[in-house]
Structures are given as structure tokens and as C-alpha cells.
Structure 1
Amino acid sequence: MNGRDHLAAGSGALARGEWAAARDAFQQAWSTEETADALDGLAQALWWLNDPAAALALRARAFARLRGEGRDTEATAVAIWLARQYRSLYRRTQMADGWLSRARSLLTEVTDGRSLRGWLLLAESEAGPLGAGTLADRAVVIAREHGDRDLEIVALMRRGACAVDTGDVARGSSDLHEAMTAATSGEGHDVQYLGEALCTLLEVASLLGDPGMVAPWAEFLVGFRSSYAFGPLLPFETMAATDLISAFCTGCCGGVYLVTGRLDAAEEQLERAVTQMVTTGLRPRCLNPVADLVELRVLQGRLEEAEALLTGFEDDLECAGPAAALDCALARPRRAVDRLVGALGALAGSPYRALPLRARLVDAALGAGDAVLAGESARQVAEVAATTRTPLHRAHRDDALGKVALASESPDATTLLRSAALAFAESGAPLPACRARLALARSLAPRDRGLAVTEARSALQALDRMGATAEADRAAAFLRGLGVRGRTGPRDVGLLSRREHEVLGLVTEGLSNAEIAERLFITTKTAGHHVSNILTKLGLRSRTEAAAFALLNLPARQGRDHR
């Protein structure tokens, strides 16, 4: 085969999603003749093989070769692609803006740009919220003028997401479902943009708390995800995803597990995601795993670790909510209020993105003794929920209004908090459902102690099962305040995470925290946290009791497996 044959083989393999075969073919083409096409094809194959750093470097080299060969139209397309990847995958704004400016300059000289101006407008829309919807709309028009179906799909999704973000759910949903129809019917040509469309749909559905948006496309989502390895679109993907969302986007898997109360699974996914983000610079397109891991550490009562994780991310908008939760856990409610107010100022034009922060602001403001701010925040949550009418947003509304009513000793608190607990459960959010049930128990305590105990115990048992240590401790303390025992003795070993099972086995062998750390390749401090969590979850008082419990409840071989 000559160089041209290898190029054809590589292009065919890319079209079929055979990324490794494409890489091999383009490498052979490059070894035969060092052309821009071989270099660019190799870059694209490496991108799909989840080596975006090498892919971006090679495409930059391909850009220079294309320019040298006078192929400015193709060079402009590469520049726009690079701008979008640097922004979405690495959050490297300056590099993204540099490539965008280069593409802009080249387009002034290109006479056969066709839909490239639409791609440029799409990239500019993604660069910031100011005028984003208008830019996406112009991109849609250009895509239709030139018959660029890939651009039309992605630009429609972007326009729909912008409309939803600014409060126009009906128009936004129409665009999103139209784009999905085009994507699933095979109108697009490049699988990357079908993948981007799916990511956008899932992100918007999560934003609205409306899994029904995804339901019509569920079968396609799972089948499409199983047909391709999606490289940097899903930088932390695994093949063990189980939920609908994570069946496509397992980069979000840890966040899904966190919301649904599967904290052990969330910990494993999020620790891996944060490690990969730190080591590669690559992150999921729609979340910061540090934010979710901080949230998890606060739930586990591991506040020092949560604070350490936030170092360097204090000003990240996505971390504002978990950081405020940490502030409240550390008895710094005023600091939490200031943090949330600042973040909400940055989200002034995005009511749905702001809703979770406004809900948190209710808690922070009540903790700081600012009933007026708490009431105003609750009213704003209610206003947003009235436009979406999703069960999740309804739950946030009733929860916020119920907490404000509870603080003012209003009789409406019980009804609102009971409704919130039910709506959270209906939305598949057991953790906030437990919080609402505990608040409900507090509202019942003055007039129906028995029912208050029942609600609090139910919340405590669920929190213990989930491993939400700090929340469970608060529920147990509330029950003790009512004069009843919150926990009645050692609990089921099933409460422990996989890692905690390992640590308990090593405690049984008599190992110290330092020895456990050495055996499991973790820090001594982390080993100590695991031991502390084990004692809390099982209601035990010492390592000796833990060892005795393990001898009675763990398989005899478990401790020996780590030798």
C-alpha cells in the first residue's frame, strides 16, 4: 500500500469508529510520506483513543502544515476545533481564545469558508454567556444555508441549552428534541457531534431535574454509548456504568451516585476522576469532580480533607455550593452566605443553574441568623420551580419554604417539609429526602414526639445505609435530645465501603494506621479516617471492638487477602 491507500484506510476506520486501526493506518501513511493529512488523521485517532494532549499537539502541527500548503480553509477548521477542545476539555481560556482569534483572522481571507463561519459563531457562543443564544441562532441559520448537518445538530443543542439556561424551557426543549431527532436518525456525519449532543441533553435534563427529557432517547443513548469508545468526550469512562446517565456519560457517574445516595460508589468514581484531572488536566465537560468530592467529604464528616481538596478551587463557580456546605459544617455560616451571594451574582442570568445555590443560601442564611435573606432566597427558589414544575424543583421549593417556616415556628412547616421529603424521594434524591425528613421531625417534636421519633429514626437508618456519617450523627443527636437512643448497637457490615472492608480486615490483624497505609498505598491520615468511619458506621468504640466484630461478621479469609 502507498501513502494514499493508508490515508484512505485511516479515514475509513475513523468513520467506522475503529480508532486503533485508524491510528495504525495514519502512522503508516506518515512513515510513507509526512503529509498534513497523515498528521491530522493521526491526531484525530489519538483524540478518540483518549490521548487529547497528543491529539491537540499534533493537530496544531497539522494546522501549520496546512497553512504552509496554502490550505487555509482546512487550517481554519482545525483552529476552530482546537479552540473548542481547549475550552471544553481543559478550561484553558487563553489558549482557546488564541486559536479562536487565529481562526477569525483566517476567515477574513478564506473565500470558500462555507459553514466555517457558523462553526466560528458556535465556538464564540461557547466562550461566554453574553449573547450566547444569539450567536448559536446565527450558527443554526448558517448550518442550514450550507447543509452542514453536524453543525446544525450541535448549534441547535447549544441554542436550546442557552434558551433553557435563561428561563425559556419550552423553546429550549423544542430545539433540544429537534437536534436529538436529527442526531438519532443519522443525519450527522461525525460521531463526535452526536456525542456532544447527547452530553448537552443530559446536562440540561440534570439542570431542570427532569429525567423525562432523556426518557424518549434512552434506548438510543445506551446503544449508542455501547457502540463507541468516546475518548475525551467521556474522560473518566469505565465499562461498569449501571445508571441510565452513566450508561452514556460515566464521567458524571460519581455525581450521579452522589445524588442517588450511593456514596461508596461515588467515592470510588470521584477519587479516580480527581486523580485523573490533576494528573492530565482533563476534566468532564459538564462538571468539576472536585466539587462533588468535597460534597462527599462533608457528608462523611471528613472536613479537613474537604478543605484541602478546595485548595486552588476556591473561586471555581462549580465549587461554590460544596464550599458553602463545608463552611456551614465548620460553623462559618456568614462566610457561606458571602460565598453564595457572590456566586449567585455571576449566575444572574441563569435561574436554573442558580437554583441549587439559592436553596443552599436558605440554610446558610438561617445559620447566620438572617431570616430576611433566607425568606427572600426561598421565594426565589419557589419562583423558579413554578416555571419548570419538575418534581425535583418542587422539592427544593417546599424544602426551602419549609425550613423558613420552621425557623419562624409557623405551622405550615410540617406540611411543606413532608411534601419536600416525598418529592425528593420521587425524584430519586434520597439524601435530600432524608434531610427533609429530619427537618420534618424537628417540626413535629413540639406537638407529636412519637411521630417525630419515627421520622428521625427512619432518616437515621437511611443515612447510615448510605454512609452519610455526619448527617447520620446529627440525626442521632436529635434523637438523643428527645430522650431516645438513636442507634441500638452494632450495625450491618454491609454499611462499609469496599475500602473500609479492607481496612477492617487489617485492623483485625492488629496493624496500626501507619502499617495499614503502607499496605494499601494510602496516607496514614487517610487510613485513620477509614478506621474512624468504620467505628462510627458500626457503632463501635475502639479498634478492639472492631476486631471482635470483624471476627464474628467477616469471612475468615478477608484479612488474609491483603498479605
Structure 2
Amino acid sequence: MCLRATRWEDSWVGEDQLAAGTSALVSGDWAAAREAFAASWAAAASAAALDGLGQALWWLDEPSAALETRSRAFALFRRDGADRSAAAVALWLAREYRNLLGRHAMAEGWLARSRSLLEDLEDPGSLPGWLLVAESEAVDLGSDGERFSHSLTIARRHRDTDLEIVALARRGAWRIARGAVSEGTSDLHEAMAAATAGEGRNVQYVGEALCTLLEVAGWLGDPGLVEEWAQLLVDFRAAYAFGPLIPFENTSAADLISAFCTSCCGGIYLVTGRLDAAEEQLVRGVHRMTTSGLRPRCLHPVAQLGELRVLQGRLEEAEATLTGFEQDRECAVAVASLDLSRGRPSHAVEVLTSTLMTLQDAAVLAFPLQVQLVDAALAAQNVELARTMVAAIAATAAVTGTTLHRAQVSQAQGRLAFVDGDPRSETLLHSAARDFAEAGAPLQAARTRVALARVVVGRDRGLAVTEARSALNAFERMGAAADADRTAAFLRDLGDRARTTARTVDVLSGREQQVLALLAQGFTNAEIAERLVISVKTAGHHVSNILLKLGLRSRTEAAAFALLRLPRHEAGPSHQPTTRRGSE
């Protein structure tokens, strides 16, 4: 009798805590949800309690534990004959393994398992629509879209607003990738309207919709696509923490966009020339990806960090960053950029053309690769390939209508016109520089000014120097060391002094300033390493960065600079290396 009463009490407690956990999930109180589901599981060991616990763990940014817990819940649902619930969990697992971890084999396994279960269900509800979404995510975005429309029909038939939000967002991205910008934008805004109005049951899909919108805004170079929704989400997110989706720690729309995007890729900072901020976010993103296995749902931080290292002139680090990712489509532009900096234009052409073969039906996705291919083809003296790519990007830009795309086309047309001896080159590059500035892309604007300087130098040396100086100032402010170095060399060839702004130690990191002080005292790299307890290789990297940032050509010039610019107590003679040695 007592045993039966205890079991009844456990069952009652389990159900009560299960209801409390479900309520906490809906309200966004993830910690309370975890506590309630754990109590329910301890009391009754139900599949629903374990599944709820897995969902709470996901929101608490413990995705690995969430995946393991929901996998166990799947097995319990199957044991209990709750195949519809089991299929729903299997579909969620398939999408997370693919989108969050990039484990495609595991994703395919769970996708196949869910497909088998759905075949035997008399009333699967809206789950076939979720299956279509998961299947469509398994192929290139540019090659499939009908599944999204079909899943949208199923969502509306069964009044599953979560599915409707996801299907609308993904169909919008698919349409834009193929050049249907107006229709795709309409889908995305409708998805965001439904998400932010609270129509859905699971706030996860608010994050997914915003992620998709940011991804597309990056394709188009149009941050305005996101800004109004981001402002609304500043208030919306107050009641929620978004787990592995978004670190919502900001209180302004601009900060929200930056936090969301740079937690994945730092792309906005790269475009806007804030290379120091981009480095901080990208290093963090790559570290998170390599230590936890989690990868962003949109842009690849390795690709963006590789591109940043090339801009900084840190080519060995760029190569190390990109090693192992050379075959990733998202990394093709960064790999090609490194190839061009290394003097390997033919390999850059090969990388870009082979990647473009996978994007034949996705003009907007292909656009940045085609822009880069213009540069690579011209460097490889393949003018006809460059001409073909210029025509392709012009056609795409005519459809998207964004200022950034227009600027990129004008820049490419201007460079090609210069090669052809066409006098319109100067006008095209002027237009490109203006549009880049309007689009908030100062790095590209400065690069265009350098191209313009090279075009006009034959007829107007003064104008060429003016344009190049302007660009050099911009590169130095942004920390684009490689571009600054090339531009300074161009100015020296014109008889102009290499640097147009006062060089100060402020451009150096604290460690680099320490190294510079030791250089001024005549220390070798080995002695610097010994004094600072770092490796000789690291000391050499610091010396190279110092020369690059200050526009100096030798250790002797660096020592002279330090004696003039560093405080006397830092730069004065004191050659006393220590005996400790280590690595940094």
C-alpha cells in the first residue's frame, strides 16, 4: 500500500514538475526549466521530462549535453511507442548536427531515422514539413527551393507557426541567392514579423530567422535590411537568453547586429574597416569553433579570420588559419586572397573557378567569388576571363540594386578598362570610390583610390600622389598593414615620402612596444625571446609586425625610430638579457 502511494506521489510530482518546466521554457526562464525537468525526471523518469531537460540545456548554451540528452529522450519515446514525438526529436537532432556542428554523417543518420518513422505514422501533423526543411538544408542553397514552399504549405495547413517562420526565412534566402531579391526580401520580412510578434511557440526560431536575415544582408551588402528588426529585438530579447544562437548582451540595435554577426564571423567589422574589433571577435569565434565543435549557422569565422590576416600582412598566420579548410566553399575568397598575396594568381583562379562550379544557379552567392576572380584573372593576365566575370557581376548587381554591389562592379569595370586602355577607367573608379564610401566600406574605398592613382599617374602625378596619400592614411587608421605597405612603396616610387602620417608607437601592441624597446638596445631575436620569455619564432613575428606597422625597412631603422619616439627609460641602453626562456 505504501509502495503504491509512493509511486503515485512520484508520478504526481513528475507531472507537476513537467508542467512547471514546460511553462518555464515558454517564458524563457531556462534555469527554472532545467530545475523543473530534472526534478520531473528524478521523480518519474519520463521521456518528456528528459526531452524538456535537453531543450533547457540547449538554451543554457550547453549544446553537447543537450544533444546527448535529447538522443536519450528519443530512445525513451520509441520505447513508449510515442513515435511522433520521437520523429520530432530526430528531426531536431538532424538539423542541429548539420547546422551547429557540421557533422553531416550524423545528420544524415538522424534524417533517415525520422523519415522511416514518419512513413509509418497515420497522423504525422506538420512533421513532414520539418522533414522537407531538414532535407533542403542538406543540399546547396542555390540548388533546391521547392521543398521550402511545400513545407510552408504544410505549416499553414496545420497552423504550425514555428515551421512557417523557418520555411519563410529559408525560402527567402533561397530566392535571393537565385536573384529574386524582391520576392525573397518579402519572405524574410514576413518571417521576422511573425517571429517578433510572438506567433510561434519556440523562441529558437526567432533567432534562426534573424540569423538568416543577417546572412542575406551580408550577401547583398545591405545592413539596412536588418536594422529596424534589430531595434525591435533589443526589447524583445529582454526576457530571453538565446543560448548558442546569439549572445544577446547589448542594448542598442547597432550593438545587437554587431554582437550577433561578429560572434560568428566578424564580417561587419571587416566591411566597415574596424580590423581591430574584427580580430577580437574572429579569434574568439574560431577558438569557440575549434574547442567546442560548434560552428556558426551563416558565415565561417575561419574564412573571415584568414582574410583579416591577409589584410594585416600576416601571411604565415593566414596560411595556418586556413589549413584544413581549403575545400570549404565559404573559404574560397580568403584562400584566393592569400594566393594573390603570395604571388600565386593561377592557383587563385583555379580555387575560385572550381568553387563557382557549385554555384551555377546561385548568382548572389557567386557574386563575391566572381569579384575576386576579376582580380585573380587580371593578375594571371587572363583578360578574357576577367571580362566574363565583369559581365556576370554587372548582371547580378543590376538585379540586387545595392550600393555595395554597384561599387564593386564599377571598380572591376574600371580596372578592366585600364587594362584595355579605355579612358573611362578614371570615371569608373571615381564612381566606385564614392559608392564604397556611401556603402560604409572604407577599406574598399581606399583600395579603389590606389587603383585610381595608378590609372592617373601617367598624366597627373600630383593627383596620383593625392589619391595614394588619402588611401594610405585610411589603411593606417584601419590597420590594413599589407595595403598600407604596398601603397607606401608606390608613393616612394613616385619620389614621395613613404608615410604621410606621423608614426607613433600607439599603432603597436603592448608586447610589440616591449620588443621595439629591446631592438633599440641592440638585442637579437634570441635575446628578445630570452628577456620576454617567449620563443625565438614569436620574437621574429613581433619584429616583422613592427617593421610592417611602422613602414620601416630594417632593424636599424626601427632602433633609430625607437630612440626618437620611445621614452628614454624604455629605449636607453641596457643590454642585460636574462637566463629564463619559455614560449608564448
Query: With structure 2 as the length reference, what TM-score do the two structures score?
Result: 0.89
Distance in 2, Cα, partners of 1:201 & 1:178: 11
Report which stretch shifted further, 342-351 or 243-252: 243-252
Report the alpha carbon displacement of residue 332 of structure 1 after superposing the two structures with TM.
0.6
Whether 1:35 and 2:46 are equivalent positions in the alignment is yes
Aligned to 1:325: 337
Counterpart residue identity of residue 397, structure 2: A
1:433-461: CA deviations, max 9, x gaps? 11111001111101111111000000001
Aligned to 1:14: 25
Match 1:164 to one of 140, 159, 176: 176
Match 1:197 to one of 188, 192, 209: 209
Whether 1:442 and 2:457 are equivalent positions in the alignment is no
**Bigger radius of gyration, 1 or 2?**
2
- The 8 Å contact of residues 466 and 495 in structure 1, kept in 2 or not, is answered as no
Counterpart residue identity of residue 483, structure 2: E
Q: Which runs of 5+ in 2 are unaligned?
A: 1-11, 572-584
RMSD: 2.5
Distance in 2, Cα, partners of 1:38 & 1:111: 25
Distance in 1, Cα, partners of 2:534 & 2:294: 23
Report which stretch shifted further, 505-514 or 131-140: 505-514
- The 8 Å contact of residues 266 and 278 in structure 2, kept in 1 or not, is answered as yes
Q: CA 1:83–1:552 in structure 2 vs 1: closer, same or farther (change >3 Å)?
A: same
Report the alpha carbon displacement of residue 240 of structure 1 after superposing the two structures with TM.
9.7
Distance in 2, Cα, partners of 1:519 & 1:244: 43
Distance in 1, Cα, partners of 2:306 & 2:213: 26
Q: CA 1:516–1:155 in structure 2 vs 1: closer, same or farther (change >3 Å)?
A: farther
Counterpart residue identity of residue 287, structure 2: T
Aligned to 1:536: 548
Distance in 1, Cα, partners of 2:457 & 2:359: 38
Q: CA 1:520–1:94 in structure 2 vs 1: closer, same or farther (change >3 Å)?
A: farther
Aligned to 1:295: 307
Aligned to 2:74: 63
Match 1:99 to one of 80, 86, 110: 110
Q: In the comparison of the two structures, how many residue pairs are matched?
A: 552
Report which stretch shifted further, 517-526 or 147-156: 517-526
Report the alpha carbon displacement of residue 515 of structure 1 after superposing the two structures with TM.
8.4
Report which stretch shifted further, 30-39 or 111-120: 30-39
Report the alpha carbon displacement of residue 237 of structure 1 after superposing the two structures with TM.
7.1
Match 2:517 to one of 503, 508, 511: 508
Distance in 2, Cα, partners of 1:104 & 1:279: 32
Report which stretch shifted further, 481-490 or 60-69: 481-490
Q: CA 1:29–1:386 in structure 2 vs 1: closer, same or farther (change >3 Å)?
A: same
Distance in 2, Cα, partners of 1:184 & 1:553: 59
Match 1:114 to one of 119, 125, 128: 125
Report the alpha carbon displacement of residue 489 of structure 1 after superposing the two structures with TM.
7.2
1:358-413: CA deviations, max 9, x gaps? 11111111111111111111111111111111100001110111111112222111
Partner SS, residue 145 of structure 2: helix
Partner SS, residue 396 of structure 2: helix
- The 8 Å contact of residues 265 and 285 in structure 2, kept in 1 or not, is answered as no
Q: CA 1:477–1:225 in structure 2 vs 1: closer, same or farther (change >3 Å)?
A: farther
Q: CA 1:115–1:417 in structure 2 vs 1: closer, same or farther (change >3 Å)?
A: same
Partner SS, residue 232 of structure 1: coil
Aligned to 1:453: 465
Match 2:58 to one of 47, 50, 67: 47
Q: CA 1:304–1:238 in structure 2 vs 1: closer, same or farther (change >3 Å)?
A: farther
Distance in 1, Cα, partners of 2:456 & 2:392: 26
Report the alpha carbon displacement of residue 495 of structure 1 after superposing the two structures with TM.
2.8
Report the alpha carbon displacement of residue 37 of structure 1 after superposing the two structures with TM.
1.7
Distance in 1, Cα, partners of 2:139 & 2:64: 24
Counterpart residue identity of residue 152, structure 2: V
- The 8 Å contact of residues 450 and 468 in structure 2, kept in 1 or not, is answered as yes
Counterpart residue identity of residue 131, structure 2: L
Distance in 1, Cα, partners of 2:394 & 2:120: 52
Q: CA 1:127–1:207 in structure 2 vs 1: closer, same or farther (change >3 Å)?
A: same
Aligned to 1:560: none
Whether 1:83 and 2:83 are equivalent positions in the alignment is no
Counterpart residue identity of residue 9, structure 1: A
Counterpart residue identity of residue 432, structure 1: Q
1:36-65: CA deviations, max 9, x gaps? 122111111111111111111111110000
Distance in 2, Cα, partners of 1:192 & 1:412: 51
Aligned to 1:561: none
Counterpart residue identity of residue 254, structure 1: G
- The 8 Å contact of residues 263 and 282 in structure 2, kept in 1 or not, is answered as no
Match 1:268 to one of 259, 270, 280: 280
Partner SS, residue 266 of structure 2: helix
Counterpart residue identity of residue 230, structure 1: F
Q: CA 1:386–1:112 in structure 2 vs 1: closer, same or farther (change >3 Å)?
A: same
1:116-143: CA deviations, max 9, x gaps? 1111111111111376310000000000
Report the alpha carbon displacement of residue 298 of structure 1 after superposing the two structures with TM.
0.8
Aligned to 2:4: none
Distance in 1, Cα, partners of 2:58 & 2:84: 21
Identity of aligned residues (%): 58
Report the alpha carbon displacement of residue 91 of structure 1 after superposing the two structures with TM.
1.3
Query: With structure 1 as the length reference, what TM-score do the two structures score?
Result: 0.92
Q: CA 1:294–1:514 in structure 2 vs 1: closer, same or farther (change >3 Å)?
A: farther
Q: CA 1:260–1:4 in structure 2 vs 1: closer, same or farther (change >3 Å)?
A: same
Distance in 2, Cα, partners of 1:237 & 1:186: 18
Report the alpha carbon displacement of residue 179 of structure 1 after superposing the two structures with TM.
1.4
- The 8 Å contact of residues 447 and 471 in structure 2, kept in 1 or not, is answered as yes
Q: CA 1:104–1:435 in structure 2 vs 1: closer, same or farther (change >3 Å)?
A: same
Distance in 2, Cα, partners of 1:178 & 1:20: 31
Report the alpha carbon displacement of residue 81 of structure 1 after superposing the two structures with TM.
0.4
Report the alpha carbon displacement of residue 470 of structure 1 after superposing the two structures with TM.
0.8
- The 8 Å contact of residues 429 and 451 in structure 2, kept in 1 or not, is answered as yes
